[in-house]
């Protein structure tokens, strides 16, 4: 294969001035530079295609399998000769080109398509492109299936928690819903509502060991170089569960921060901007925008996590600060939690813990699939590995 400038095979077309909140809700995705921003009832690009981040998340690559709309913060890919090139192949191929390095703006990152067009690469024949894309897409389909499985398992766990500990319809001694079957309820002066007889309330700080993370000097290489301890930021609480981190810290760095090492199973919650809880699938430390809540002998993450998910609207309403809306650790510590009797908790864990264990297993399977796909990607593209 001879090298050729990619501008001779494809073009990066400008997206459109479309705002999701100004359009009718529908089934067609709208892509910004950082992925899907919403769904509307119309589209600008009729066939499946590739979206490239133009502003902000420069060079981030996404693929839409259905008609879509790219916003004006993104490009979408146009193939000049469809007899020579396959769209799905280019989705994977562009990920190898490190387009984020072509930032041509200093204040707001921006991708120069003129610079991208000059990149010279070796491009396989279309038949080989289709074979390569087929192999890699199988990984992505399995990863997406696993994501759907975990989303359904998480929804199931939250529903179970709500039914037992919010509606109080856990099984009574006869296996019937407690409250709906006339189980005795007692007025609680702290919550200003009734809770099951024998249940109590307390603050999070009085029940759990909580900790706020911290950040040592970012200029000291001894804190970050050759590091192997996961270091979680508030942005990474969007992942559920958390099984890896973008950045790692050394033991020396950890010792010079306000953070402590949290064991896997710890529930973490971001306290900056969007308040989000998650569960650690690995031992990790956090920065100062994340609070950790450790499991106890009585309270496991399968109880703590859905409880905190239900408290998010309250926490969001308590945020202060215009530039960086946030709550502080004391808001978490002072929050009231209902404490069920042990027999109900033990029965709940028999049902809930296997669900959370399955979520963790599937998440690690996806991690392995992503690593394997990313390992094969450059080898398939440069011919080190071929598809027969």
Task: Give me the CATH number covering residue 219.
Answer: 3.90.220.20
Which of 100, 123, 146 represents a domain boundary (last residue)? 123
State the Cα–Cα distance between residues 387 and 373, nearest whole angstrom: 14
What the block records as the tokens of 197 is 């007889």
Instruction: Tell me how far apart the alpha carbons of residues 149 and 151 are, in angstroms, rounded to a whole number.
Output: 5
Number of domains in the chain: 2
Note down the domain range covering 253. 200-339
Within this chain, do residues 109 and 206 fall inside the same structural domain, yes or no?
no
Kindly state whether residue 71 falls inside one of the protein's structural domains.
yes
Residue 106 lies in a domain: yes
CB 315 within 8 A of CB 330: no
Question: Distance from CA of residue 235 to its chain's centroid?
Answer: 8
Within a domain: residue 143? no
Distance CA(158)–CA(160), nearest Å, equals 5
User: Does 116 reside within a domain?
Assistant: yes
Does 355 map to a domain? Answer: no
Confidence of residue 78 (pLDDT cuts 50, 70, 90): very high
Could you tell me if residue 224 is inside a domain?
yes
Residues 99 and 219 in one domain: no
Q: What is the pLDDT of residue 106?
A: 57
Query: Tens of pLDDT along 292-340?
Result: 999 999 999 999 999 999 999 999 999 998 888 999 999 999 999 999 9
| pLDDT for position 370 | 96
Same domain, 118 and 208: no
Model pTM?
0.87
- Tokens 């010279």 belong to 120
207/110 same-domain check: no
Q: Would you say residue 166 lies in a domain?
A: no
Asked if residue 205 and residue 110 are part of one domain, the reply reads no
Pick from 32-36, 121-125, 144-148, 255-259 the range whose average pLDDT is largest: 144-148
| Tens digits of residue pLDDT in 135-187 | 999 999 999 999 999 999 999 999 999 999 999 999 999 999 999 999 999 99
CA dist., res. 374 & res. 96, Å (int) = 10
pLDDT tens-digit map of 174-197:
999 999 999 999 999 999 999 999
Q: Is there a single domain that holds both residue 249 and residue 335? A: yes
Residue 111: predicted pLDDT = 87
CB atoms under 10 Å from CB of 313, counted, come to 10
Computed from CA positions of residues 86, 88, 91, 97, in that sequence, does the dihedral angle turn out positive or negative?
Answer: negative
Residue 373, domain member (yes or no): no
Mark whether 109 and 218 lie in a shared domain: no
Distance, CA of 223 to CA of 270 (rounded, Å): 23
- Residue 107 neighbours by CB under 8 Å, 6+ apart: none
């Amino acid at each position: 294969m001879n090298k050729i400038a990619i501008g001779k095979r494809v073009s990066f077309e400008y997206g459109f001035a479309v705002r999701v909140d100004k359009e009718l809700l529908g089934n067609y995705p709208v892509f910004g530079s950082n992925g899907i921003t919403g769904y509307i009832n119309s589209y600008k690009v009729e066939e499946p295609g590739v979206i490239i981040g133009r502003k902000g998340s420069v060079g981030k690559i996404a693929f839409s399998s259905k008609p879509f709309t790219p916003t004006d913060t993104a490009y979408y890919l146009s193939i000049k000769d469809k007899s020579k090139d396959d769209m799905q192949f280019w989705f994977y191929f562009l990920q190898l080109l490190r387009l984020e390095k072509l930032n041509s703006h200093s204040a707001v990152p921006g991708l120069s398509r003129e610079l991208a067009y000059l990149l010279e690469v070796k491009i396989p024949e279309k038949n080989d492109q289709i074979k390569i894309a087929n192999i890699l897409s199988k990984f992505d389909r399995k990863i997406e299936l696993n994501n759907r499985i975990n989303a359904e398992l998480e929804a199931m766990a939250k529903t179970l928690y709500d039914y037992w500990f919010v509606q109080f319809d856990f099984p009574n001694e006869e296996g019937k819903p407690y409250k709906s079957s006339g189980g005795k309820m007692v007025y609680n002066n702290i919550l200003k509502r009734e809770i099951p007889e024998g249940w109590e309330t307390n603050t999070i700080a009085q029940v759990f060991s909580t900790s706020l993370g911290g950040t040592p000097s970012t200029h000291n290489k001894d804190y970050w170089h050759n590091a192997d301890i996961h270091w979680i930021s508030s942005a990474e609480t969007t992942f559920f569960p958390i099984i890896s981190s973008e950045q790692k810290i050394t033991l020396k760095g950890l010792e010079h921060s306000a953070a402590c090492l949290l064991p896997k199973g710890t529930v973490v919650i971001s306290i900056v901007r969007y308040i989000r809880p998650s569960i650690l699938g690995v031992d990790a430390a956090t920065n100062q925008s994340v609070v950790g809540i450790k499991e106890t002998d009585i309270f496991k993450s399968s109880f703590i996590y859905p409880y905190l998910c239900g408290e998010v609207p309250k926490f969001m309403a308590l945020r202060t600060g215009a530039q960086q809306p946030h709550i502080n650790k004391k808001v978490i510590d002072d929050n009231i939690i209902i404490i069920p009797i042990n027999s109900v908790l033990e029965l709940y864990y028999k049902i809930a813990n296997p669900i959370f264990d399955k979520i963790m297993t599937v998440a690690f399977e996806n991690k392995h699939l992503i690593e394997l796909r990313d390992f094969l990607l450059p080898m398939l593209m440069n011919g080190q590995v071929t598809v027969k």
